[in-house]
Amino acid sequence: MKEKDIIKKLATTAKAEKEELISILASEDKDTSDLLFASARDTRTRFFGDKIFAYGFVYFSTYCRNNCNFCYFRRDNEHTIRYRKDSEEVLAIAKELADSGVNLIDLTLGEDPSLHKEGFASMLDLVDEIHDRINLPVMISPGVISDELIEEFARRNAEFYALYQETYNRQLFKKLRVHQDFDERMHAKIKARECGMFIEEGIMTGLGETEEDIADALLAMAKVKPSQIRVMTFVPQSGTPMAEMEPQDHDMELKIIALMRLLYPKALIPASLDVEGIEGLESRINAGCNVVTSIIPPTSGLAGVAQSTMDVNEGYRTVAGITPRLNALGLRVAEDDEYKRWMKEAW
């Protein structure tokens, strides 16, 4: 089948064979990509209208026991600024984010040994405090945690568990997430889903993966029944083994976003401000995203992940910063009760 017919089939059936996905990923034809993005936007409008959800990002500990080769916060990176925010600081930041109009608070951290030591007691309490005092849903991004802890976070009603596989190519996974277990990471997501949490799955591009790897990932991620799916282009980080790797342009990320939209029409798909900052917002939204992530208060002293400082102090990674840009595209930041309604209907 020709690429354009594959896209039409995808838009009506949400189905494609692996070879078909590969041919779209490999295509360099402008008409094909224009049709791909237009179909993705149509699909988003069909399921979400003009609503875009906004997530506040609280990276509250940058300590990590792991050594992922791509990550600025890996254990052995001596360039990293390490900090750990206490609960009162996190709550003050979450309140500021809520007042600014975000729909969810994403509590993210490295696999901080001191949190593991205390059994995540302070983070579990934070989930309760955000629910009680701030009344917003919570996403947790703690990395891989035990089944018992997943059960405990689920008991506290943490709504979302984000844990990205990065790749479904096991050899590549081993090179990236050194000394980590592919199956253990998959298991944590399946377990969390069984306990009643929404799952965010994700991949990275620009790591030397093939188009076949990407197509495999797009199809295989269905296994974890994700409600939110993402792709981010790898951004080389100083002080890491991959610091000198040639960065890839963002075209592949945009194509993957659009394919995600067509394969998983009801999914939440983030446009991360953490890759290209605010300048990268429009292209990602135009590829079919319906969430903006990595909104960070300018004076909070918090870091991003892939772009730890870009646009943060300038105040561009804020709801006020994204609103005019979304409005110019005929879109708007959703209200909290619209997000809560999505959660009810999506389960």
Q: Which chain residues interact with ligand SAM by CB under 6 A?
A: 70-71, 108, 110-111, 141, 143, 163-164, 166, 202, 204, 232, 234-235, 237, 305-306
How many residues would you count in the chain? 347
Using CB under 6 A, which residues numbered 131 to 160 contact ligand SF4? 143
Nearest to ligand MD0 of 7, 267 (CB atom): 267
Q: Is 317 exposed, middle or buried (0-12, 13-18, 19+ CB in 10 A)?
A: buried
d(CA 95, CA 329): 28
Using CB under 6 A, which of the segments 44-52, 70-78, 198-206, 289-297 binds ligand SF4? 70-78
CA dihedral 81, 158, 94, 278 (to 10 degrees): 70
d(CA 54, CA 271): 10
Quote the CA–CA distance of 246 and 182 in Å, as a whole number. 26
What span, in angstroms and rounded, lies between the C-alpha atoms of 166 and 338?
A: 30
Decide whether 10 or 54 has the Cβ nearer to ligand SAM: 54
Q: Which is nearer to ligand SF4, 116 or 340 (CB)?
A: 116
* CA gap 313, 322 in Å, rounded: 15
Span 307-336, contacts to ligand SF4 by CB under 6 A: none
Interface with ligand SF4 (CB under 6 A), residue from 53, 60, 73, 160:
73
Q: Which does 237 bind (CB under 5 to 8 A by kind): ligand MD0, ligand SAM, ligand SF4, none?
A: ligand SAM
**Interacting span for ligand SF4 (CB under 6 A) from 16-24, 68-76, 196-204, 319-327:** 68-76
- Smallest gap from residue 268 Cβ to ligand MD0 (A): 12
Q: Is 149 helix (H, G, I), strand (E, B) or coil?
A: helix
State the nearest-atom distance from the C-beta of 294 to ligand MD0, in Å.
4
Other beta carbons within 10 angstroms of residue 87's beta carbon come to 13
In sequence order, what DSSP letters do the residues of 174-225 get, joined into one string?
Answer: HHHSTT--HHHHHHHHHHHHHTT-EEEEEEEESSS--HHHHHHHHHHGGGG-
Select from 66, 62, 252, 80 the least CA-distant residue to 173: 66
Q: How many helices (H) and strands (E) does the chain have?
A: 15, 9
The residue (of 71 and 281) whose beta carbon lies closer to ligand SAM is 71
Structure tokens at 98: 């809520």
Q: Is 248 in the site for ligand SF4 (CB under 6 A)?
A: no
> Least distance (Å) from ligand MD0 to the CB of residue 10?
26
- In whole angstroms, the minimum distance from the beta carbon of 74 to ligand SF4 comes to 4
Residues in contact with ligand MD0 by CB under 6 A are: 57, 106, 108, 141, 162, 270, 272, 274, 293-294, 304-305
Q: How many residues bind ligand SF4 (CB under 6 A)?
A: 9
Q: How far is the CB of 55 from ligand MD0 (least distance, A)?
A: 7
Cα 192 to its chain centre, rounded Å, is 17
Answer for which of 41, 44, 74, 230 binds ligand SF4 (CB under 6 A) is: 74
Question: From CA 179, how far away is CA 310, in angstroms rounded?
Answer: 30
Residue 234 near residue 167 (C-beta atoms within 8 A): no
The one of ligand MD0, ligand SAM, ligand SF4, none whose footprint includes residue 124, by CB under 5 to 8 A per kind, is: none
Distance, in Å, from the CA atom of 263 to the CA atom of 274, rounded to the nearest integer, reads 24
- Minimum gap (Å) between residue 201 Cβ and ligand SF4: 15
Residue 234 touches which of ligand MD0, ligand SF4, ligand SAM, none (CB < 5 to 8 A by kind)? ligand SAM
Q: Which is nearer to ligand SAM, 234 or 339 (CB)?
A: 234
Query: Could you tell me the smallest distance in angstroms from the CB atom of residue 164 to ligand MD0?
Result: 8
